[in-house]
C-alpha cells in the first residue's frame, strides 16, 4: 500500500511534465528504477530524488546514459509512460513477527482446484459460528481467492493484501495491519 501510493505520486509528478517520457520499474524490494527522456530531465530527476529518495533505486536519464543495453532492457520490460512490477526471486522473506496465534491450521495441497480454499473458508466460518476469533491468511500469492468468498469486489479493492504487506515491510517496519486485512 505504501509503495502503491508512492508510485501513484511519482507517476503524477512525471505526468505533470508534459514533455517527459517515463518508464518506471518497481521491484519486489519496493524500490523504483525510473528511466526518463525529454526536456528538463535534470530538474525532474532532482525534484523526484528530493521528495521520494527512499523509494527510488535509480533515475536514469536516457540522453546521458552510456550503457545502451540498460536502456534497451528497460524498454523491453516497460512500455513508455507506464509502470511495471518486476519480481526478484532471490530474496529472503523471513521476518520476525510479534503477533501470536494460538492455533494454526494450514491448508496445503500439491494440486490446484481440489477445494483447498473452499474447505478453509467453510472451516473458518464454522469456527466463527463456534465463537472463536478466526484469521484467514491466503498464501496463494499468484491467485488469492479466499477473500472473494467473504467480501464484495468493492470491499476487496479498498484494501491491500499479504503480498503488499511483505513488500511494504522493506520500506517501513511500522505498518498498520488493518490496512492489509478485511474484517
Partner 1 sequence: MNMSKEEFRKFAFLMIKDSKILYSKNSNHNSVYFAGYALESYIKIILIHHGNEDFIGHLGDSDFLDKFRLLITLHPDFFTTSILKETSSDYPKKLFNGGGNSDTKASWKISSRYKVRHWTDSNFAQDIQAEIVKIETALAQLRIDGVL
For partner 1, which is the closer residue by CB, 30 or 107? Answer: 30
Query: Which residues sit at the interface with partner 1, rule CB under 8 A?
Result: 25, 27, 29, 31, 33, 57-58, 67, 69-70, 72-74, 77, 86, 88-91
**Of 88, 77, 86, residue with least CA distance to 23:** 77
- Tell the smallest beta-carbon distance from residue 55 to partner 1 (Å): 12
**Of 32, 43, 42, 36, residue with least CA distance to 21:** 36
Distance (Å, rounded) from C-alpha 109 to C-alpha 94?
22
- Tell the smallest beta-carbon distance from residue 32 to partner 1 (Å): 10
b/e sequence 62-88, b meaning 16+ C-beta within 10 Å: beeeeeeeebeebeeebeeeebeeeee
Distance (Å, rounded) from C-alpha 32 to C-alpha 85?
9
For partner 1, which is the closer residue by CB, 35 or 147? Answer: 35
- Tell the smallest beta-carbon distance from residue 23 to partner 1 (Å): 11
- Tell the smallest beta-carbon distance from residue 68 to partner 1 (Å): 9
For partner 1, which is the closer residue by CB, 43 or 72? Answer: 72
Amino acid at each position: 500500500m505504501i509503495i502503491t501510493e508512492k508510485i501513484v505520486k511519482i507517476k503524477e509528478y512525471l505526468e505533470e511534465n508534459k514533455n517527459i517520457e517515463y518508464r518506471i520499474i518497481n521491484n519486489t524490494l519496493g524500490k523504483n528504477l525510473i528511466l526518463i527522456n525529454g526536456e528538463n530531465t535534470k530538474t525532474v530527476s532532482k525534484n523526484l530524488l528530493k521528495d521520494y529518495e527512499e523509494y527510488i533505486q535509480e533515475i536514469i536519464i536516457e540522453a546521458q546514459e552510456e550503457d545502451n543495453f540498460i536502456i534497451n532492457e528497460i524498454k523491453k520490460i516497460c512500455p513508455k509512460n507506464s509502470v511495471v512490477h518486476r519480481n526478484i526471486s532471490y530474496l529472503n522473506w523471513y521476518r520476525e513477527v510479534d503477533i501470536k496465534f494460538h492455533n494454526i491450521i494450514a491448508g496445503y495441497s500439491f494440486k490446484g482446484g481440489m477445494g483447498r480454499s473452499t474447505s478453509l473458508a467453510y472451516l473458518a466460518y464454522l469456527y466463527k459460528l463456534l465463537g472463536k476469533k478466526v484469521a484467514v491468511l491466503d498464501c496463494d500469492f499468484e491467485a488469492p481467492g479466499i477473500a472473494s468468498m467473504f467480501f464484495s469486489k468493492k470491499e476487496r479493492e479498498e484494501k491491500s493484501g499479504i503480498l503488499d504487506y511483505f513488500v511494504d515491510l522493506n520500506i517501513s517496519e511500522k505498518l498498520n495491519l488493518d490496512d492489509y486485512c478485511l474484517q
